[in-house]
Structure formats: C-alpha cells, structure tokens
Amino acid sequence: MHRPVLLVIAHGSRDPRHAETVHALVRRVRALRPGVRVETGFLDFNARTVSGVLERLAAEGVRDVVALPLLLTRAFHAKSDIPAVLHEAPPGLRIRQAAVLGPSPLLLTALEQRLYEAGLDPADKSSTGVVLASAGSSDPEAIAVIAEIAREWRHTGWCAVRPAFASASLPRTEDAVRDLRAVAGVRRVAVAPYVLAPGFLPDRIARGAADADVLADVLGPAPAVARLLVRRYDEAYAPGNCPVGPLARIPALA
C-alpha cells in the first residue's frame, strides 16, 4: 500500500535563506523516510505554492496527502490560512492536516543542540540564563504556549529561562537579555531563537541578542526537527485518523 504524500507547508519569505533552509530540512526528512514522497509548498512569496503543489499531485493521480504545517505554534496560519488553502484543493484528494510541530521535547533537544554548536559548554548550563526568542504572535494561545515552554525548559537545569518576542508581543529579546543580567546566579546569557528558518524576524532577534554571550542559530534542519516532522506525519496517518469525503482535516495533535 502506498503511503500518503507528505506535503510540508512553510510560511515563505522574500529572504532566499528561508526557502534554502526549508529545503534542507525536507531533504533530511526524505533521508529518514525514503519510502515516503515528500513535497514542499509555501503560503507566500515563493513560487512553489501550496495550491500549485496540490493541483500537480491530483493531476498525477495522487489520492492521499498529509499536509504538515511547518509551524511551531497553533496561531493564525495554522488555524485559518492553511485550512482555507486545503479546502480549495482538487476534490479527488483526501487530505489530513497534521499537527503543528510545537510544543515537543524534540524541539528542546534541537534548541540545546544549537546552543552547544554556538559555543555554550553543557557544563555551564546551571549558571546560564536563556532567552527563548520566538517570532511573536497576536494569538493569545500561541503566546501562552511560548511562556509555558520557557517554564518547562527552566526545569531541565538552566539557571533561568525567559520568553521573548520579535513582534506583536513583549518583551523583546534585548529586554529579556537585560532582565537575565539582573538575576542572581546568571553568569552568562544565551539567546535561543525559537524559529525554523532565517528571515526578517530572526534577524531582529539576532540584533536584540547583541549583549548576550551566546546566540544560537535557527532550528533549521536540526536532526531532532526532522525526526519531529516524521512523528507528526505518522500521527496524522495513524489508524482511526481516516479521511471522510474528498477533503478531511484531522484535528491537530499535541
């Protein structure tokens, strides 16, 4: 039996680094699941649109697709934009919408990997304060999720963890860095971008990290992120998650 096509849906950006990073992540996913066809579509800015990919798949005779949002929280794009695009898909396609990536322990694994790659010594974890810097959102649910991730991550051995946002919400990265400097016991401050690919907002995070001791890279094609995409694909296609009618969206899994 053929496995469904995995369609990774990325936001898109005018910054060419964004698409390059998404494609690098997708290549790693393909290596993990060589028996699964993996396609990439973008919501904005890039030529390979989600609707265009779906039309091409339908024309080729594909019937089953798992649409996986390359998003870290269930904000506007996951709740509105992506379902709207999927509802316009050709009627012959049966589509399951997988969960967004976060929250997940695998994302914390990827964040720590990036911090250590940037030069942080694991032995210094207990004396390091971390800024969990996300893109930001006007969606209260998404902001609450970021704050909860910061609280949970603090319990894994960091001296302190503060959430920060590049847009829509406060505090900004530079404010969180300044706040951590004032915390007793924090000898160094590290900034961990909770973003998947480079672009305008990640660059703003980097500028806000000017006074930090360590700035990690974006999550990008980290091995743990690729494993998480495979996990979300498997969850969406698990027994019991059967599509109903020409288009079915399976509720996002936590």
Residue 253 in this model has a pLDDT that exceeds 70: no
CA dist 128 and 157 (Å) reads: 9
- Express each pLDDT in 158-199 by its tens digit: 999 999 999 988 999 999 999 999 998 999 999 999 999 999
- Express each pLDDT in 66-106 by its tens digit: 999 999 998 766 777 899 999 999 999 999 999 999 999 99
Cα distance between the two ends of the chain? 28
Which range (6-15, 63-72, 80-89, 236-245) has the least confidence? Answer: 236-245
CA dist 194 and 202 (Å) reads: 9
Residue 47 in this model has a pLDDT that exceeds 80: no
CA dist 173 and 189 (Å) reads: 11
Q: How many CB atoms sit inside 10 A of residue 165's CB?
A: 26
pTM comes to 0.91
pLDDT at 247: 43
CA dist 117 and 13 (Å) reads: 26
Contact in structure between 195 and 218 (CB atoms under 8 Å): yes
pLDDT at 79: 76
